[in-house]
Amino acid sequence: MITKRIIPCLDVDKGRVVKGTKFEVLKDVSDPVELAKFYSSSGADELVFYDITASNEARNIFLQVVEKTAYEVYIPFTVGGGIRSIDDIKKVLRAGADKVSLNSAAVNNASLITEAALKFGNQCIVLSIDAKRVGQSWHVFINGGRQDTGIDAVEWAFKAETLGAGELVLNSIDADGVKSGYDIALNKEISENVRIPVIASGGAGKMEDFLDVFVCGKADAALAASVFHFGEIDIRELKNYLHLNKVNMRL
Amino acid sequence: MIAIIDYGAGNLNSVYKALIKIGAEVMITSDPIDINTCSAIILPGVGSFGAAILKLKELGLDIGIRENVAKGKPLLGICLGMQLLFDRSFEDGNWEGLGLIGGEIIKFSDPCLKVPHIGWNQLILNRNDDIGLGIGQGEYAYFVHSYYALPKEDDDVIFYTEYGIHVPAIVRKGVVIGMQFHPEKSSETGIKLLENFIEIVNKTEMNL
């Protein structure tokens, strides 16, 4: 049986992981490669590196991080943040990433999804949607959640599937950082209506939140950052807990 | 020396790095001469079947691969590289493959299934073989694909995985081996499988 996936997300700035971690086993908790190895050996199913760097100079440092990670880690990883063109995608895939995640650039230019899917295969094109509840529905936000596009998030998810995205990341702006659980309704609404896998993001605070988003939210994978980085949730314990609650896990 | 074929598709570096890590001598090449002189061939692949087979033909590698396999040189196809080993694929058209293993490549059709089949799924033994040595029943491998193989002979399937149906995960016909998942992304299980392949290559060299 296919398993649900647990995915730690690492924000990287100038080659260093931001949001400090406190793993005593690691010599350098801000080294993305070391942290990636640690998560891989702790049972993480995939990794996401999110480049929050603005300057071009620092982007090259980020590409070196991707390359080093590919040498050391034998689980799949996705790279996101600031990817705007086919050339950007080519660079991170060449550096060794397995997938890229597109966000604002795809909203501004939807044909980028199709172009990228045809060139690199839809399995490596992940569309990340920053969604926030507005009235009875969810809107797509861009530019780091600052700008409301007015686009309906559920419709955008359907469209992205048609355009060739291979996976969706649903990042709930309402739930992000609050640690009171994933946006179950958003995940369920989209996951039940698309045929591509859905990765829930934003809001994980405790182990039950993961169970909820898999069972009630119908997500295929769950992404989280701080609960893992700060050691609040241990990935192995989490996977054992989910397994005991009848969620398929790679143990 | 093991030759990883570069035909313009996919993430060759991950396969290359994983093989270096386990101590194999390996090169990335698209030159038919290297295919003739190497001790084994790896056909990786991410992308579409049609583009891949056209590129292999353009480079003269389809013939090169067939000739070397006929001489008994081990070949490992990974993901799309495994699908290319079969007779035919219906991915966006109707394409002739390398024809090294009998069967066709078709799309997942169950409307209840998410496609692509992405994630970790279990390897279930169909037949004992050296490639599967030390791999326990139900170990996990990382899959990413929308099409799957329908082999003519069940005996060519070493491991399968469950995704609505039995999906061939590792196939083998003589020196030709295919893995539908990505061993280079399948943690310790994947590394072990690559080591098994190297072991098969080493034994083959001694028999030549």
* Phi-psi region at A19: left, alpha or beta (left = phi > 0; alpha = psi -120 to 50): left
Is-catalytic flag, B79?
Answer: yes
Give pLDDT, residue A22.
55
Length of chain A, please? 251
Is-catalytic flag, B184?
Answer: yes
Q: How far apart are CA B51 and CA B192, in angstroms?
A: 31
3-class secondary structure, A41 = helix
Give pLDDT, residue A21.
54
CB-CB neighbors (< 8 A) of B145 in chain A = 123
Average pLDDT over residues A234-250: 97
Percent above pLDDT 90 for chain B? 85
Average pLDDT over residues A133-155: 94
Question: Tell me: the pLDDT tens digits for A7-55?
Answer: 999 999 888 888 655 556 666 678 899 999 999 999 999 999 999 876 7
CB-CB neighbors (< 8 A) of A167 in chain B = 116, 118
Amino acid at B2: I
Q: Is A116 a residue whose pLDDT tops 90? A: yes
The ipTM of this complex is: 0.91
- Identify which of A14-23, A114-123, B120-129 has the greatest average pLDDT: B120-129
Q: Is B48 a residue whose pLDDT tops 90? A: no
Termini Cα distance of chain A: 13
CB-CB neighbors (< 8 A) of A124 in chain B = 46
Report DSSP state, residue B52: H
Give pLDDT, residue A18.
83
Q: What is the DSSP string of B172-202?
A: EETTEEEESS-GGGSHHHHHHHHHHHHHHHH
Percent above pLDDT 70 for chain B? 97
Candidates A67, A74, A169: best to mutate against B (most CBs of B within 10 A) is A74
Residue B204 contacts A, CB cutoff 8 Å: no
Q: Where are the domains of chain A?
A: 5-244
Residue A54, token pair as written in the block: 């603005």
Instruction: Name the band, by pLDDT with cuts 50, 70 and 90, for residue A177.
Output: confident
Residue B13 contacts A, CB cutoff 8 Å: yes
- Minimum Cα–Cα distance from B140: chain A residue: A250
CATH of residue B63: 3.40.50.880
Phi/psi at A138 (nearest 5 deg)?
A: -115, 140
Question: Tell me: the pLDDT tens digits for A183-222?
Answer: 999 999 999 999 999 999 999 999 999 999 999 999 999 9
Q: What is the H or E stretch that residue A163 is in?
A: helix A153-163
CB of A106 within 8 A of CB of A89?
no
Parent domain of B10: 2-207
CB of B171 within 8 A of CB of B132?
no
CA A157 to chain B, closest CA, distance in angstroms equals 14
Amino acid at B204: T
Termini Cα distance of chain B: 15
Residue B117 contacts A, CB cutoff 8 Å: yes
Name the domain count of chain B: 1
3-class secondary structure, B14 = helix
CB of B52 within 8 A of CB of B25?
no
Break chain B down into helix, strand, coil percent, rounded to 5. Answer: 35, 35, 35
Give pLDDT, residue A172.
95
Instruction: Name the band, by pLDDT with cuts 50, 70 and 90, for residue B205.
Output: low
CATH of domain A5-244: 3.20.20.70
- Minimum Cα–Cα distance from A251: chain B residue: B140
**Are A166 and B116 in contact (CB < 8 Å)?**
yes
CA B91 to chain A, closest CA, distance in angstroms equals 12
3-class secondary structure, B55 = helix
Average pLDDT, chain B: 93
**Are A2 and B117 in contact (CB < 8 Å)?**
yes
Q: How far apart are CA B32 and CA B60, in angstroms?
A: 7
CB of B82 within 8 A of CB of B10?
no
CA B60 to chain A, closest CA, distance in angstroms equals 22
Residue B28 contacts A, CB cutoff 8 Å: no
CA B120 to chain A, closest CA, distance in angstroms equals 6
10 Å CB burial of residue B109 (0-12, 13-18, 19+) is exposed
Q: How far apart are CA A83 and CA A116, in angstroms?
A: 11
3-class secondary structure, A136 = coil
CB of A134 within 8 A of CB of A109?
no
Residue B202, token pair as written in the block: 């080493």
Average pLDDT over residues A154-173: 97
Length of chain B, please? 208
Give pLDDT, residue A54.
67
**Are A74 and B186 in contact (CB < 8 Å)?**
yes
Q: Residues B79, B91, B117, B139: which is the catalytic one? A: B79
